[in-house]
Amino acid sequence: MEGVNGDGSLIKLICCVKNSDWGRIGRESTVARLYYRNTGIEIDLDQPYAEFWMGTHESGPSYVVQGEKVTLKDWIERNPRVLGDHVVKKWGTNLPFLFKVLSVAKALSIQAHPDKVLATSLHKEQPFVYKDDNHKPEMAFALTEFEALCGFVSLEELKVAVKTTPEIVEVIGNAKAEQILNLNEDDGEEEVRLVLQSAFTDIMSVRKDVIAEVLAKLISRLNIEDQARHLTDKEQLILRLEKQYPADVGVLAAYLLNYVKLNPGEALYLGSNEPHAYLYGESVECMANSDNVIRAGLTPKHRDVKILCSMLTYRQGFPEILKGTVVNPYTMRYLPPFDEFEVDRCILPQQSTTVFPSIPGPSIFLVMGGEGTMTTSSDKVVTEGDVLFASANTKITVATLSGLHLYRAGVSSRLFE
């Protein structure tokens, strides 16, 4: 098998799709288009196509296209040197990252991902719900305008929400509302955190019949006020979420979370134990190699409100938006503060060439559009939907006549400094 020593192999992968009901339908979905180009399997025009997975996770494995059909995970276990010594030493024969494309038509659940300690205990206690024992820091890179809820709003914004939304006060009670309004920046971080945790837990734990009644009042009030004034972005979002998930507690909880709008080319990263929900748009996503999700709102799936409310950091303030750093004239790098991954975006214009230098760790390349060649010891013609695994210590020259748009996921370059 060519390149099994980690010295220049570039291997095509057949990848996996997820058809969750929040995905874009049929040909509207970039995920569907990539999956069709990658596998040749026709698109079902009535089916949602939500996620395109590239990696070794058993919930959505990629396969090596080389002689016999074998999972990438099994192939790496047989040929561990393709990961490079640094990676094998730190993570064993596991590919440390999972690469995805998301096509989001409606909101995903309000969720968080456990840290390593919590993931290990959840997997041990409920292996059918929590499928692995790994943490899952992640980053979403916007392909289109991309909307998300992420992290808790600042103290100032929380106070505005309580003052202007009587339905929040109805759920958390007057005493807790007063407590929030009386907080100030001089109060200790821990005191503010405990009050926020208490209010968020009250909202997430409210009875179904109560939240249905409260949301009916909220939606009625906003629809009336919409005739008299311009609703805020958050209020317009609340109306949208309620149409997608009627009588769902996550609609009210959205007031406590930052509403983030990414432009194409911007990225958002999330550590363990941070609440978030992707709302709309298409993105490239990279994360530690895990599928652990703890959900508590905006979902028909299993919810674990108690664990979610107890695990969160309750850090407040708007999240950092990554705009990328220049690697060369055609390539931008997005480097979140996690060891497991980084993402490069490369847009090659007509009749141009660039080089991805040899690095001590593995990479996965995704061709998002166009056509070109990727050269190691020999040329590989690549086109939209192609996914390639590059072994550690592989220098790759990429060239195109017509233009090429590709992404690379790899282990964080900080690890090799």
Catalytic residue list: 295
β partners of residue 308 = none
Packed helices 208-228 and 233-244: angle between N→C axes, nearest 10 degrees: 130
Cα–Cα distance measured from residue 122 to residue 130, given in angstroms and rounded to the nearest whole number? 6
Nearest CA to 13 out of 340, 363, 249 is that of 363
3-state SS of 265-302? CCEEEECCCCCEEEEEEEEEEEEECCCCCEEEECCCCC
State the CB neighbour count (10 A cutoff) for residue 41.
11
384 annotated ligand binder: no
Burial of 308 (0-12, 13-18, 19+ CB in 10 A): buried
387-390 and 363-375: which strand pairing? antiparallel
Tokens found for residue 338: 């996690």
138 annotated ligand binder: yes
166: Cβ contacts below 8 Å, ≥ 6 apart: none
Cα–Cα distance measured from residue 8 to residue 283, given in angstroms and rounded to the nearest whole number? 29
Q: Say how many CA atoms lie within 13 Å of 365 toward its Cβ.
A: 28
113 annotated ligand binder: yes
57 annotated ligand binder: no
What are the binding residues for Zn(2+)? 111, 113, 138, 276
What are the binding residues? 111, 113, 138, 276
